[in-house]
Amino acid sequence: MKTYCINLVRVAAIVLIAISWTVPALAQEPLPSWNDTAPKKAIVTFVERVTRQGSPEFVPEAERIATFDNDGTLWAEQPIYFQLALALDRVKELAPLHPEWKDQEPFSSLLKGDLKGALAGGEPAIFEIVTVTHSGMTTEEFEKIVRDWITTAKHPVTGRLYTEMVYQPMLELLAYPRANGFKTFIVSGGGIDFMRVFAERVYGIPPEQVAGSSGKLAFELRDGKPLLMKLPTLNFNDDKAGKPVGIQMHIGRQPIAAFGNSDGDLQMLEWAKGGGGVRFALIVHHTDAEREWAYDRTSSIGRLDKALDAAQAEGWTVVDMKNDWKNIFPFGSK
């Protein structure tokens, strides 16, 4: 049998290359856009505690479920929810087909450019605007409407695409638990069909890991081709006490970590904290009027009042955007 002489350094190099193929790149410092303040430390400590093999706090990968709100948590929500901006654009496009809207609120005000007047009707007005613009078409047609809009419409303040208005620190906060065996889900009051169009590309979250509000659907065959029609009826409101329900329906496991920013997330955070073992709840507090927006207890969009009290009482992690985040958006700030 022939033997060969081999340089040990070369063998070591080959072994190292082989290892680098098999062991996922262990992240450099996690959460680079976060300052070294309490929230970053709390996140890293939590992830390390539940992933430490042999520790009594260890959580198996299958149970490492983390749920994230979308509006105001993963992307901005000012001056109005982005999905509502889509709905308003659609009302203008559809107006020629609806001459009756001229004398009918909230459409009448809206078409005159009076957004405040249109929204004076509160949630019923918003619900009507969303309903007429989100039903009466197939799921495939709606997906195309969203895709066309989301790749062209610009944010009124920054002039950026809405999908650029995502928080860089939160993109890192999706990636970091994921790199540690977590499965990340969106659980949002926003429309499930709306978010699924961009969630995979923007957040790395596939459609099957998006839970949200929805209208009823009807299956039918049209000329032999199956389709799903979007009906003008609410199916599920995935907000407030609906969030734990949406989580159970969609995921079927209690999350061990949840991330939100408003009173709409309170029950989701309670639900995540309510199970046994080590749990994590985090609230993004919008405190940076210069780089983003500053609002909380009295805002009509993303009100944070009861959930802020709960966070303080329960010791949940509260992110002060101004002090805890180095960057806001991938492109910088407002």
Which spans of this chain sit near its own copies (rule: CB under 8 A)? 1-9, 11, 18, 21-22, 62, 65, 139, 183, 185, 192-193, 196, 200, 206-210, 214, 217-219, 221, 225-228, 235, 241-245, 248-253, 267, 270-271, 273-274
Q: Closest CB to its own copies among 150 and 328?
A: 150
DSSP codes of every residue in 111-173: HTT-HHHHHTTHHHHHHHHHHHHHSSSBHHHHHHHHHHHHTT-B-TTT-SBGGG-B-HHHHHH
Taking the complex as a whole, the smallest distance from the CB of residue 281 to its own copies amounts, in Å, to: 12
Taking the complex as a whole, the smallest distance from the CB of residue 97 to its own copies amounts, in Å, to: 26
Taking the complex as a whole, the smallest distance from the CB of residue 9 to its own copies amounts, in Å, to: 7
SS3 label, residue 279 = coil
Q: Closest CB to its own copies among 99 and 226?
A: 226
Taking the complex as a whole, the smallest distance from the CB of residue 234 to its own copies amounts, in Å, to: 13
Taking the complex as a whole, the smallest distance from the CB of residue 162 to its own copies amounts, in Å, to: 20
Q: Closest CB to its own copies among 2 and 116?
A: 2
Q: Closest CB to its own copies among 31 and 281?
A: 281
Q: Cα angle vertex 55, ends 49, 57, to 5°?
A: 55
- Helix 38-51 to helix 168-179 angle, to the nearest 10 degrees? 20
How far is it between the farthest Cα atoms of the chain? 95
Nearest to 157 by CA among 292, 262, 321, 326: 292
Q: Closest CB to its own copies among 103 and 219?
A: 219
Q: Closest CB to its own copies among 118 and 266?
A: 266
Taking the complex as a whole, the smallest distance from the CB of residue 197 to its own copies amounts, in Å, to: 10
Please give the backbone phi and psi of residue 294, each rounded to the nearest 5 degrees, phi first.
-115, 120
Q: Is the dihedral of CA 257, 262, 267, 270 positive or negative?
A: positive
